Amino acid sequence: MATDNAPAAPACPAGQGAARKLRQWLLVACAAVAGLGAAAEAWAQADVPSLFTNRGTVGNTRHNLTQRQSGGGGPEGTFMDRTRNDYNEVCVYCHTPHGSNRTTAAPLWNRTMAPTAYQTYDLLGSPSITQPISPPGAASLTCLSCHDGQTAVDSIINMPGAGRYNPAQETAQNNAFLDSWTNPRGPATTSHGRIGQECSICHAPSGGAIGATDFSAFVIGTDLRNDHPVGIRFPADAGAGSDFKDPPRKEARLAYFDTNGNARADAGEIRLYNSGEGYEVECASCHDPHGVPSAGPGSVFLPTFLRVSNAGSAVCQSCHTK
């Protein structure tokens, strides 16, 4: 078992070994499902709607990676405990009060941020792009630390409980450290799943066979040429007479469309991030990873964690005059 603050073990490619073990286990699980006969066949054909209520807290959304509690949503224990550490705390997959990541300007960030090369939108060569595009900034790298499929969703620096802190995790996933965690309700795992890779062994179009939702659309990957540009600078001359609306509030590191005029960047307001190159569009410009109530406190969150409902393309029209 890895000890706390252990030096980084030699980089272990999270993929092959773990994926093979998981596949072997899956064959057994699928054989069991097949054994259920006709009932299982009907089950196999239907995709599975989310069991989360998407109300009130990030704990009721797909960004809760702890085990499903009775009556609530959440990954199903029998399957999921073989795939990721269940830290039994919702926030800890992303934040920690102490020992957070010093390499990324993101709030008390607890995740491994492995240096990664992305194919950015400029490589597409679209002739209508007029603004400079730089590599994704911190407010995109946070999302990509899971959604690019390069790092395990449970790869964090400071695990719950005293003395479970490994600063080497800041920039490199260390499976020996992650393996030292014991799942509170199910078996411990050595398979630390990544979106679009180990997780997609089940969460694929064929996943209905074992009752898993297809998450293919959530796999952003490292090729960003087919995504709305991020790291793209907002035009400095936005406003009347231009193709862009001018955000009414501009602070040193953040500009935002202050729709309620309270001079605070609220969750439900589209924003732009300045990490030193001017205000730029990043993933969190349009999305709030905690969820935004659609019609005030207590209401269901807007779909796909959007800051603004995209009915009538309102997300797009926050910035674009079209």
Segment 205-264, which members bind ligand HEC (CB under 6 A)? Answer: 210-213, 215, 217-218, 220, 227-230, 232, 234
Q: Which of 141, 209, 286, 302 binds ligand HEC (CB under 6 A)?
A: 286
- Tokens of residue 160, six digits: 């719950």
Between residues 5 and 216, which has the closer beta carbon with respect to ligand HEC? Answer: 216
Instruction: Answer yes or no: are the C-beta atoms of 140 and 227 closer than 8 Å.
Output: no
Show contacts with ligand HEC in window 178-197 (CB under 6 A): 193, 195
Minimum gap (Å) between residue 9 Cβ and ligand HEC: 20
**Whose Cβ is closer to ligand HEC: residue 3's or residue 187's?**
187
As a dihedral over the C-alpha atoms of residue 59, residue 155, residue 192, residue 56, rounded to 10 degrees, the angle is 10
Q: Quote helix, strand, coil % in the chain, to nearest 5.
A: 30, 10, 60
Which stretch in 12-20, 31-39, 139-147, 164-172 sits in contact with ligand HEC by CB under 6 A? 139-147
CA-to-CA distance for 27 and 95, rounded, in angstroms?
A: 35
Tally the residues of the chain. Answer: 322
**By CB under 6 A, residue 283 contacts ligand HEC:** yes
Shortest Å distance, C-beta 162 to ligand HEC: 20
Window contacting ligand HEC (CB under 6 A); options: 13-21, 37-45, 47-55, 170-178:
47-55
When asked if residue 270 is in the footprint of ligand HEC (CB under 6 A), the reply is: yes
Residue 52's alpha-carbon distances to 63, 73, 76, 215, in angstroms, are 10, 4, 12, 15
Within 71-110, the residues that bind ligand HEC by CB under 6 A are 73, 75-76, 79-80, 83-84, 90-91, 93-95, 106-107
Is 278 a binding residue for ligand HEC by CB under 6 A? The answer is no
Distances (CA, A) of 139 to 76, 107, 223, 230, 234: 30, 10, 17, 9, 15
Q: Describe the crossing of helices 16-34 and 38-45 by its angle, rounded to 10 degrees.
A: 130
Using the contact rule CB under 6 A, the part of the chain among 12-20, 159-167, 168-176, 303-311 near ligand HEC is 303-311
Q: Is 30 in the site for ligand HEC (CB under 6 A)?
A: no
- Provide the β-strand partners of residue 40: none
Q: What angle do CA 251, 255, 258 make, to 5 degrees?
A: 105
The reply on whether position 14 binds ligand HEC by CB under 6 A is: no
